[in-house]
Amino acid sequence: MLDEFFMTRVAGLTGQAAAGVTVRSPDGRTPQQTISDSRARALELYEEQARIWSQSLCPALAAEGIVLSGVEELSETELHRLEQRYQEEVYPVLTPLAVGPGQPFPYISALSVSLAVFVRDPETGEERFARVKVPEGLPRFLSIGDGGRFVPLEQVLMHFLPSLFPGMEIVERSVFRVTRDADLEVSDEADDLLEAVEVELRRRRFGEVTRLEVSRTMSHALRERLKQGLRVADELVYPVTGMIDLEDASELAKLDRPDLKLDVWVPVPRPPLANVQAEEQFAVIRAGDLLVHHPYDSFAASFESFANECASDPDVIALKSTVYRTSDESPLVPALIEAAENGKQSVCIVEIKARGEERRNIEWSRAMEQAGVHVAYGFPSLKIHAKMTLVVRREGGVLRRYVHIGTGNYNSVTARAYEDFGLFTADEDIAADVADLFNYVTGFGRPGRFRKLLVAPFTLRQRLLDEIRAVAAAARAGKKARIRIKVNGLTHTEVIEELYAASEAGARIELIVRGMCALRPGVPGLSENIRVRSVLGRFLEHSRLFFFEAGDRTACYFGSSDLMPRNLDHRVEVVTPLEDVAAQSEVAATLDTLLSDNTSSWELRPDGRWERIRPKKDTRARSAQATMIRRARRRVTLARSR
């Protein structure tokens, strides 16, 4: 998350600062002030991370027999094993790059850990800078024997550096990492969006440096040499205590130690889909809207099964879907290809500007085009972030449309780790809206009036603002007034101002925001009735839910959009109403369960700091995600007993 912040947000700010932009953001800061404040906060986070790693996690791992140590702590036998492994597995893939006559400063790839080295010739006294990249294809933590001892790979390299510079004296060695601008800049007037993105991908590899992380023990001279070679200003240099890039610590979580892990959760098929054959799914959806909640409900037994059936069903004549982030395991793209090969109209809107997925999505799009799928790429200025699938089926001499709308991507891998909702419906108004939206993206024209869907950048922002204002009006009238919202990010100024106004009117507002939140709750005279929580459990809370209660009226929605300017104003997003009472009740119960969590929750304080929520004395521990697992199991048990 912090890496992405520097790759995109800081990249934009540094560009504005370099261009002399002085326009202030909604919080009153200039780009340069924002960079300075972000730097101060990031340095605090680095120190906190280092403290937790060294004082909490490492001792806890050691107590369980997983010891992280330096080379100097190894016994003679262990050191011999390490040297043998270094010679066989590490040394052959190392490439020292020295700087000198005919040897320019090397290109440093983004987010790769490297060693910066000063090397001296003892005979001539000549001293040179060199860079050694820590190989990415090897484990970051090398195991030593069978005793559960691990040594970070960069420490192994530093110990054996003389083997790379024979006859030379190693004056200094230290660790650093570079972050580069990863934002795509595609012109609104690009004639060929696919070609424009491919050009930008090549350019992005050499993007401007937005952060230089260096070991805090690095000397001033070595740091200055790096700054000079990378052309980095002081404000983009971040001294780090301890290990740089702790994301690789996830390797330790993959060790075969089931005794230290949560019980594996296998998603269960959702009734009534679990109880019918694939070809009967359409009848189930016709009977009423069907809600699924991943990863508690099986993605394979719901959307994947549905997509596969659509591709092979002879009565299905059209299959249309969107791809933002998918996986090699996902059946969606193969289903679209199979549908095309079976003579059906097969359409896919591929968002080739999806950050981090650009190359994969380009490859998918070409594979689909070769198979006869109609592939569209959307617009240069608008990302297609909506998660929607449309099926047209011939039934009894008439055409009927079926729709799936989700809060998350059609990705089989993340569906097992990300929490998301999906809706299967045969509602004609929703289906007509989805059909119109597909035609808008693939064709040429302006979208008309949407019947039920809230669609960005056209109606979504205004409709949500209207819902907030309706709750505020109910509060002023002394009626029931409550707002519950769950999103990944809340930064849209206009939305925040309306939430403040609703709070002042007396509405009860409960927000679950996993990531960025620019709203300050609990401020006297401004947001006293607003509470903000973040739930960080074994699954990534990813769904976007909106629940409004104004007097006797209840409105419930979910979809792909967060409450950020990019979502509401610069992307194609879809949020659907939930009109089924049972579906509304499930969403309401989910929100209340998350708000009552006291084991994996953090609460945002008025000063902008997050505070861990813990069970009070004599209060039962409540895990929201554990509760969801029990509910999913109970649904299956009840369905089997009927």
**Residues catalogued as catalytic:** 385
Give me the long-range contacts of 522-528 (CB less than 8 A, separation at least 24).
522/605, 522/606, 523/606, 526/500, 527/499, 527/500, 527/503, 527/606, 528/503
Q: Put residue 484 in one of left, alpha, beta given phi > 0 → left and psi -120 to 50 → alpha.
A: beta
CA distance 483 to 465: 12
Alpha carbon separation from 553 to 331, 479, 529, 605, 641 (Å, rounded)? 40, 11, 20, 31, 35
Q: Which of 267, 324, 276, 271 lies closest to 299, judged by CA? A: 267
Residues in the chain: 642
If 0-12 CB within 10 Å is exposed, 13-18 middle and 19+ buried, where does residue 587 land? buried
CA distance 156 to 173: 12
Residues facing 540 on adjacent strands: 418
Q: What is the DSSP string of 294-336?
A: ETTB-SIIIIIHHHHHHHH-TTEEEEEEEESS--TT-SHHHHH
Q: List b or e across 116-129, with b for residues whose CB sees 16 or more CB atoms inside 10 angstroms.
A: bbbbbeeeeeeebb
Q: Which of 537, 538, 540, 547 lies closest to 486, judged by CA? A: 547
Kindly state the tokens that stand for 576: 């659907």
Kindly state the tokens that stand for 534: 């973040």
Q: Which of 436, 19, 42 lies closest to 235, judged by CA? A: 42
C-alpha torsion sign, points 406, 409, 412, 414? negative
CA distance 209 to 238: 12
User: How does strand 530-535 pair with strand 418-425?
Assistant: unpaired
Helices (H), 64-192: 76-85, 153-159
C-alpha torsion sign, points 555, 557, 563, 569? negative
Name the CA radius of gyration of the chain, rounded.
27
CB 283, CB 273: distance < 8 Å:
no
What DSSP designation does 87 have? I
Neighbours of 466 (CB within 10 A): 13
